[in-house]
Chains A and B, each alone.
Chain A
């Protein structure tokens, strides 16, 4: 069973360009989370999605950032008009959500996309 897959692993963009990050959850997982990590910091929640639904995007900046998880295909985190401050590692996690006990649901992380904005 393949783990969570993310691509690209490294992405370099110039200021003002768009960055598109992809995440394929583990097989059988229908819940996807995106987190951002700055150097020497913990992970910060950005957005929580289920298939075709954004459940919670309260951790994501309202401008320039968007996320989707279509019925078919990977989840996409899109950053428009990138700025230097967007440079970070972006991790995607997926969970199976067995039952309704979210606090016991394990999230499994992908290898991350390291975004560098020049």
Chain B
């Protein structure tokens, strides 16, 4: 049940916006988003629940579309600190199944 993340990599300038996506072939009940910087632990950002609820963390927000079986993460007015790899993860069978990640690089 590994989710598929796209695009694989994004390069953007400070202040620009970006959208990264996470999709599943199975019905979604919740989506967990994490950010990992090189050599560090994944840091929990937010969890999206069934019902189309939007959440936010700093200027990072996310949406959950259960019909499309997809979640999108919106990086608004990006800051240098947003650089890292963003993982979405789905819970099932006693585990989080992580996607391969979206690498985000924010340059000055």
> Do these two chains interact?
yes
Interface residues of A, Cβ cutoff 8 Å to B: 4, 33, 35, 41-45, 48, 55-56, 58-59, 91, 93, 102-112
* In the complex, number of A-B residue pairs with CB atoms less than 8 Å apart: 60
User: Counting CB contacts under 8 A, is B82 at the interface?
Assistant: no
Interface range, B side: 20 to 34
User: A43: nearest residue on chain B (CB-CB)?
Assistant: B98
What are 16 contact pairs spanning A and B, CB under 8 A?
A4-B41, A35-B96, A42-B2, A42-B101, A48-B94, A56-B93, A56-B95, A58-B93, A103-B29, A104-B47, A105-B91, A106-B44, A109-B34, A110-B41, A112-B40, A112-B41
Interface residues of B, Cβ cutoff 8 Å to A: 2, 29-30, 32, 34, 40-44, 47, 49, 87, 89, 91-101
Contacts A103-B30, A106-B32, A106-B47 given: A45-B41 contact, CB under 8 Å? no
